[in-house]
Structure 1
């Protein structure tokens, strides 16, 4: 799949420098000399083609509420259905399969620990599956951006 130079610039620059403002797409559009709507449409197109998975900030979660890594032991034949149910739960922002007895791992967030516990309890009761709750002991910063050599891809 070939991406034009504007799509490449959107990916390269804004994966680390997404503007923090009321209208980030408008700010991006001004930097790239295009309309805000074109920026939105390009990002939607990149997402629909699975070039990018999401557009949004990554922030220090402990400053914005509560979060927890959790894992569920889903029967192998039900992994897709269980994953879909987890994804519909409020506050879930990652969900991925692992090769382990606890084979679906996800991060859930909430405004505070009380609501986080309520959300996890509700989900666990609905799923009727064993759930591990793994609170963060120490945080690490992982740079999720990638330097892409577009020339090497052609």
Structure 2
């Protein structure tokens, strides 16, 4: 992908992969920090999203304290991967959907408000895809900080190799 990022977009990506302001108007806080307007910040984020350079804007929290979650996987025939991924992606409860090199080649995280709701989502995914869902519940929690300081001046930088996740991480 060829995408030229504005200075504002670069600043947003580097400053807010974590630690997003938890206030009534967070984009106004970003605007003040970057000597910009709230509308310009929102437009910059919208452009990043439309270009596919932004994976998500949202909170990261301990799923076990807020409800139920699990890692899940599907063994999808290669020719069906895009179609099945689109089905899985239609669920609001699904995030972190990605392809892996394994017989179970489509992996995703499902979160719900309780175990019953989680089971219903997994059942519905299985019904719609026609594939059994492998449930891989977490046995131990680890915090991995995935924030990256990106040097946009580097000639080898491309948005296909660096996707920003703007979130409130813990």
In the alignment, the residues of structure 2 paired with residue 75 and residue 151 of structure 1 have an alpha-carbon distance, to the nearest angstrom, of: 40
Alignment deviations for residues 89-129 of structure 1 (CA, whole Å, 9 cap, x no partner)? 23001211112211111101101111111111122122221
1:90–1:119 contact (8 Å) kept in structure 2: no
Within the candidate set 57, 66, 69, 1:67 is matched to: 69
Q: How many residues get paired?
A: 154
Within the candidate set 6, 9, 12, 1:10 is matched to: 12
Q: Secondary structure at the match of 1:106?
A: strand
Question: Which residue is 2:137 aligned to?
Answer: 135
- C-alpha RMSD of matched pairs (Å): 1.7
* Displacement of 1:5: 2.5
In the alignment, the residues of structure 1 paired with residue 52 and residue 129 of structure 2 have an alpha-carbon distance, to the nearest angstrom, of: 29
Paired residues for 1:53-64 under 5 Å: 53-64=55-66
Q: Which has the higher helix share?
A: 1
Paired residues for 1:141-152 under 5 Å: 141-152=143-154
1:80 and 2:86 equivalent?
Answer: no
* Displacement of 1:38: 1.0
Q: Secondary structure at the match of 2:32?
A: helix
In the alignment, the residues of structure 2 paired with residue 13 and residue 139 of structure 1 have an alpha-carbon distance, to the nearest angstrom, of: 26
In the alignment, the residues of structure 1 paired with residue 47 and residue 71 of structure 2 have an alpha-carbon distance, to the nearest angstrom, of: 31
Q: Which has the higher strand share?
A: 2
* Displacement of 1:33: 2.6
In the alignment, the residues of structure 2 paired with residue 15 and residue 24 of structure 1 have an alpha-carbon distance, to the nearest angstrom, of: 14
Question: Which residue is 2:91 aligned to?
Answer: 89
Alignment deviations for residues 18-41 of structure 1 (CA, whole Å, 9 cap, x no partner)? 111232112212222322111110
TM-score (norm 1): 0.90
Higher relative contact order by CA 8 Å / sep ≥ 6: 1 or 2?
2
